[in-house]
Amino acid sequence: MSGKRLIVLTSDLPCPPTYGHKVDQYHRWRAFAARGWRLRLICWRSPLDAPATAADVDALRDVFEAIDILPIAHSPAAFARRLARLWRYPSHVAARVPDAATQARLIAEAKAFGPAAIVLDGIYGGVGGEALARACGVPVIVRGHNIEHLYFAQQAAATRDLRSRLAWSIARFGLKRYEEGLLRRAAWTFDISADDVAYWKRRGIARISWAPTVFSGDRAVTRLPPAEKRWDVAYIGNLRLPNNLRGIAWFVSDVMPHLRALRPGIRCAFAGADPGPAALALFVQAPDIDLIANAPSADDVLCNGRVLVNPILSGSGVNVKSIDMLRYDAPIVTTSVGAQGFAPEVAGQFRIHDDAEPFARAVVAALADPYPPAGRSGVRSLFGEDGITEQAALIARIAGI
């Protein structure tokens, strides 16, 4: 018996936990390590990504006893190999197929480690991960973050840049077939979204269940009384993803005029990683919104918002921003997309509006009573110790520990 040992494959280094899937991974594996699980990490890095700093890697040293960051080559030869694989693997999967020497090394190290299971935290490392599982004779467990083929279609539709739209569209080739096949082969899939679980069950995939994003304790959460908070409205999210930018554009152009009329002098802060030209152009139109680029602490932003907003207009899975906001003592105003995928007991925590004027009025009403609705502490338990306990038990059962 291999005991509580897992090899985890992710698309990229889950640190710093500045958005969606990184938040989900970072807190879950930190909680597993705290409960005595031995973990090894395999992930990838593109030369287009910000370099992994020594501090980022060091932050994971107490979680993973080994961290293997594999490069995604961008040479002409690597691009040719990627194109040659497209008949079998979608682009983002093909980019993460290890070469023969690397795969042999990973297999040898995996056999020496003796994992109880291979966990694909996202589908894109699936080729290497399934090879490790076969070599070690252990099950593959998948963590679903989105219905990826639908998510990519939504991102392609949301972007206004022709080159970006083409890139998102090319990445969709073969993605539905690969994604569904992987989930059918996996011993189990634990998915971030209850709605996505229902979708896959309708497709005949039975070995799947809902497992929420979990947070490894509340030590990083500051809770302030409303009078001490810096802003009336706060938001934090990735400032490059097309669906986030589309939602922010709607907030700036459609919601803000109503807010200015209803609450003159309203103070807003929008924060996020690596804002590109498209994001910067949006905020030029709204000089009364404080733009905080690459905030060193998400907590410093969210704890200082009397009302938290998530104006997302498209997306699949669960919007992790909405989960993060639940950790704070503030009303949350969002769209129906921002509130999708949750279990029924979570629904009452959001004020949900898809039209600009009702959205603005909900923000102003929340400012008049800037406290969370009843049941917030109970809902938090789903994303804290209760959720961690259930997920650890699920993986242990599937792995035969």
Alpha-helical (H) ranges within 233-346 are 242-250, 256-262, 277-284, 298-302, 320-326
Say how far apart CA 105 and CA 7 lie, in whole Å.
14
Instruction: List Cβ neighbours of 253 (8 Å cut-off, separation of 6 or more).
Output: 285
Say how far apart CA 308 and CA 350 lie, in whole Å.
10
**Tens of each residue's pLDDT in the chain, 401 residues:** 468 999 999 998 888 776 678 888 988 999 999 999 999 999 998 877 777 788 888 889 999 999 999 999 887 887 788 778 878 899 999 999 999 999 999 999 999 999 999 999 999 999 999 999 999 999 999 999 889 998 888 888 877 777 788 877 888 889 999 999 999 999 999 998 888 999 999 999 999 998 888 876 555 688 999 999 999 999 998 888 888 899 999 999 999 999 999 999 999 999 988 788 889 999 998 999 999 998 877 889 999 999 999 999 987 767 888 988 998 999 999 999 999 888 777 878 999 999 999 999 999 999 999 999 998 988 888 888 888 888 999 999 999 98
Task: Tell me the CATH number of domain 5-216+384-399, given options 3.40.50.300, 3.40.50.2000, 3.40.50.1010, 3.20.20.150.
Answer: 3.40.50.2000
Intervals of CATH 3.40.50.2000 along the chain = 5-216+384-399, 226-382
Beta strand residue intervals within 18-93, DSSP E: 38-45, 66-71
In order of 28, 145, 383, 384, the CA distances from 217 in angstroms are 10, 21, 10, 7
Is the CA virtual torsion 119, 125, 127, 128 positive or negative? Answer: negative
Say how far apart CA 324 and CA 322 lie, in whole Å.
5
Say how far apart CA 31 and CA 41 lie, in whole Å.
15
Local structure of 73: helix, strand or coil:
coil
Q: Which fold has domain 226-382?
A: Rossmann fold (3.40.50)
Alpha-helical (H) ranges within 226-355 are 242-250, 256-262, 277-284, 298-302, 320-326
Local structure of 350: helix, strand or coil:
strand
pLDDT at 290: 95
Say how far apart CA 94 and CA 86 lie, in whole Å.
7
pLDDT at 1: 44
The structure tokens listed for 279 are 């994001």
Is there a contact between 122 and 320 (Cβ–Cβ < 8 Å)?
Answer: no
**Whose CA is closest to 346, among 380, 317, 371?**
380
